[in-house]
Structure 1
Amino acid sequence: MLNEHKNNVISIIKWFLLASAVGCVVGVLDAAFLKILDRAISFRNGIPLFYILLPFVLYGVALLGRKVAKRHTDYSTDAVINKINSYRSISFISIFKGFTLSIVTMVMGGSAGKEAPCADVGAGVSSILARWVRMSPQDQRKMMICGVSAGFAGVFGVPISGALFGLEVLWAGHIFYEVMFPALVAGITAFQVTSFLGVDYIYHPLHFVPVFSEQFFLKMIIAGMFFGLISILFIEITKFTRVLFRYIALKTRLFWACVTGGLLLVAVGYFISPLYLGLGMPGIESVLGGAAPESPFGFLYKMITTSVTFAAGGIGGVVTPIFFVGAQAGAMLADFLRVDSATLAALGLVAVLAGTANTPLSASIMAIELFGADIAPYATVACVISFLVTGQQSIYPSQRISLEGGKTGDAPDASSSNYDTPLRPAKIPYRKTMFKQAFKKMVKHLIPNPKGFDDEK
């Protein structure tokens, strides 16, 4: 008994030191990435029609990402999830690709987010450190999870929810409690380091004391259902666009797929608004400040530009576009529900994240970290309902699901053989059936279930 407690204390000290080291290293790299990105965007904003070269930029990014060092393509959050779930490490070349090519994509107008490079850098650096000290595969995996948590916490300034996101996003329906302590230490450390280095974050405390009533609570339930449908729409548009552009690349060449996507993005920027290109932070900050959205279809434009960017070869994260979609959709819904616009924009930001990424717990805590404690009960309700409405859909194809058939499945066992086996996505149908299969699948998920919620989760 005494030996068991002694081993637990030693393990806590060990992982505290390791996680602190990971948080410091990832925090410095996060700060460097964010400062380079901010300066590049500031310089770009002074250039009119900065997005005009997107067709050729996307082709160049696709060539460098996919054709150069073909084995090293783990520069997206989904790829990191797949690597962690299959106990495989991330190479330095993948880290370098994710760090540099994502900056090029976002600065030149591609609609992408900034969290994937930081999560990829965090997981990659952690795996390299773990190999240097010759850790076991299980401990290497823990280190990579700490790196993802530190990267997410440092990039958005949310140490608690950022750490939990790294645990929750790997396996929907299960949280790896054995990694929670080092993940929290890594996330908090990374946040403190990035803050010390002068990184600014979005904080919009909502100074309101809502009067609880059945009518207001019903509005929050309706909002949660709406955000769940928005999540499904985003996921299905992303899937359909990926199949469509893969079809174009197979029928013609990669060049024409990239050019087609780039021209669509240029058309959106020129004829609609450049607000829906690039990182999109002004579109998030404006509606969180209470301003009306520039267009009632702003969330739909962002879905399209984000999906096209990734399908046409762009590199980056998807969480920042999810924030944009959720905030814009919430601000649009506020007019119909007659609720404060900033409040629903904040709820939409976290609820759409909960639905698309299957992370209701971390999204609920993120609402507290970004918008204050007053919004907590309403954000939790909206996040959970959005999560339930989404069903087993996910913006990350490599994410695993622990809940099937409406019943709670057994928690994944790290020692089991099926846990080590990577989840392989279904093969893409051959050319002639691509459109038919993709269209049927999209329609199936977009038409509401007459029985109500999808009870498979």
Structure 2
Amino acid sequence: MIHPRKNWIPASVSTLFLYMFKWILICGLIGVLVGSASAFFLWGLDWATNWRESHVWIIALLPLGGLIIGLTYHYWGETVVKGNNQLLEEFHSPKKVIPLRMAPLVLFGTIATHLFGGSAGREGTAVQMGGAIADQFTKIFRLRPRDRKVLLSAGVSAGFASVFGTPLAGAIFALEVFVVGKVRYEGLLPVFLAAFVADWMCHAWGIPHTVYAIPFVPALTPLNLLMAIGVGILFGFTARSFSFLARYWTAIFKRLAAWPPLRPVIGGASLPWLSG
């Protein structure tokens, strides 16, 4: 007697279908949420920049701005003060879900820094917002540690892509940022999907990105290739020097000011002297 098969879909096909459906759903949600957060972030940066340029006197209050940001992190952001390093630590040694408060705190801190005339890059904010928002789905979907790594990569990809309007670069950045020199192939679909959805969502809110025009592309000649290799080596040494100096000055500031909120005040007060 021939027994009818209970499941006519091959196990490999059904597993692949469930895998794709799960990550399409998760990354779609990540893209919508992170893209919306990035849209608000870019709008806030534009407002802060325009207001500061119209009220230049606010630059004199940079130490006050540093105090406000320092107090904010001291009293409400102690669990997320490590920033990008916390994302790296959770990726390599998962312990607990990254608190969602990381996203609004870094968003507020960056906008406030620009408002008072300080210097703060967008990439750190993009990575932290994306990672914090994406990691909330770890508990919701009860993801395993291996899947959580893909989730964090998707969040970073969505944040980078939507803030800079570069979904392809954001996806590649996320695939390599956590594991230098290696690509997690199981994360290709989630990372690219999250990047493109987040970028689309940011545009859907009507937030434009800065366009940098490249007037020409140099020809690929032996001389230009050697120059590119040389410049790449210099960039590597520069990045290594920056990492060393960042740790060096962090240690000095910790000795100078035991109370954390006082450190950005010192930095804000010394900036005019350092800039001449």
TM normalised by structure 1 equals 0.54
The Cα shift of 1:182 comes to: 0.4
Q: Look up the match of 2:269.
A: 263
- Are 2:39 and 1:31 equivalent residues in the alignment? yes
Shift in CA distance, 75/99, structure 1 to aligned 2, threshold 3 Å: farther
Shift in CA distance, 77/17, structure 1 to aligned 2, threshold 3 Å: same
Q: Is the 8 A contact 1:248 1:256 kept in 2?
A: no
- State the distance in 2 between where 1:187 and 1:51 align: 35
The within-5 A match list for 1:357-436 is none
Q: Is the 8 A contact 1:151 1:190 kept in 2?
A: yes
Q: Is the 8 A contact 1:105 1:112 kept in 2?
A: yes
Q: Larger RCO: Structure 1 or Structure 2 (Cα < 8 Å, ≥ 6 residues apart)? A: 2
- Are 2:81 and 1:45 equivalent residues in the alignment? no
- Residue type of the partner of 1:93? R
Aligned length: 267
Q: Look up the match of 1:207.
A: 215
- State the distance in 1 between where 2:144 and 2:78 align: 23
- State the distance in 2 between where 1:62 and 1:6 align: 51
- State the distance in 2 between where 1:90 and 1:255 align: 22
**Partner SS state of residue 203, structure 1:** coil
The Cα shift of 1:151 comes to: 0.6
The Cα shift of 1:199 comes to: 2.2
The Cα shift of 1:46 comes to: 0.9
Which digits, 9 at most, give the CA deviation of each residue in 1:333-355, with x for residues without a partner? xxxxxxxxxxxxxxxxxxxxxxx
The Cα shift of 1:209 comes to: 4.8
- State the distance in 2 between where 1:16 and 1:255 align: 42
Q: Is the 8 A contact 1:58 1:262 kept in 2?
A: yes
Q: Where does the alignment leave 5 or more consecutive residues of structure 1 unmatched? A: 272-457
The Cα shift of 1:7 comes to: 1.0
- Are 2:105 and 1:81 equivalent residues in the alignment? no
Q: Where does the alignment leave 5 or more consecutive residues of structure 2 unmatched? A: 1-8
- State the distance in 1 between where 2:126 and 2:140 align: 21
Q: Look up the match of 2:133.
A: 125
The within-5 A match list for 1:238-277 is 238-250=246-258, 253-254=259-260, 257-268=263-274, 271=276
Q: Is the 8 A contact 1:75 1:94 kept in 2?
A: no
Which digits, 9 at most, give the CA deviation of each residue in 1:358-400, with x for residues without a partner? xxxxxxxxxxxxxxxxxxxxxxxxxxxxxxxxxxxxxxxxxxx
Shift in CA distance, 78/106, structure 1 to aligned 2, threshold 3 Å: farther
The within-5 A match list for 1:23-422 is 23-66=31-74, 68-69=75-76, 71-74=78-81, 76-87=83-94, 88-250=96-258, 253-254=259-260, 257-268=263-274, 271=276
- State the distance in 1 between where 2:208 and 2:219 align: 33
State the percentage of identical aligned residues.
Answer: 26
Shift in CA distance, 10/242, structure 1 to aligned 2, threshold 3 Å: same
**Partner SS state of residue 131, structure 1:** helix
Which digits, 9 at most, give the CA deviation of each residue in 1:181-215, with x for residues without a partner? 10110001111111222222233342325344333
Shift in CA distance, 140/37, structure 1 to aligned 2, threshold 3 Å: same
The Cα shift of 1:39 comes to: 0.9
- State the distance in 2 between where 1:164 and 1:114 align: 17
Which digits, 9 at most, give the CA deviation of each residue in 1:87-141, with x for residues without a partner? 2311133332222222212221221112323322222222223322333343344
- State the distance in 1 between where 2:125 and 2:235 align: 26
- State the distance in 2 between where 1:210 and 1:254 align: 48
Q: Is the 8 A contact 1:148 1:166 kept in 2?
A: yes
Shift in CA distance, 136/210, structure 1 to aligned 2, threshold 3 Å: closer
Which digits, 9 at most, give the CA deviation of each residue in 1:209-260, with x for residues without a partner? 534433333222222222223223322222221121112124xx54654333
Q: Which moved more, 1:147-156 or 1:83-92?
A: 83-92
TM normalised by structure 2 equals 0.86
CA RMSD of aligned residues (A): 2.3
**Partner SS state of residue 173, structure 2:** helix
**Partner SS state of residue 54, structure 2:** coil
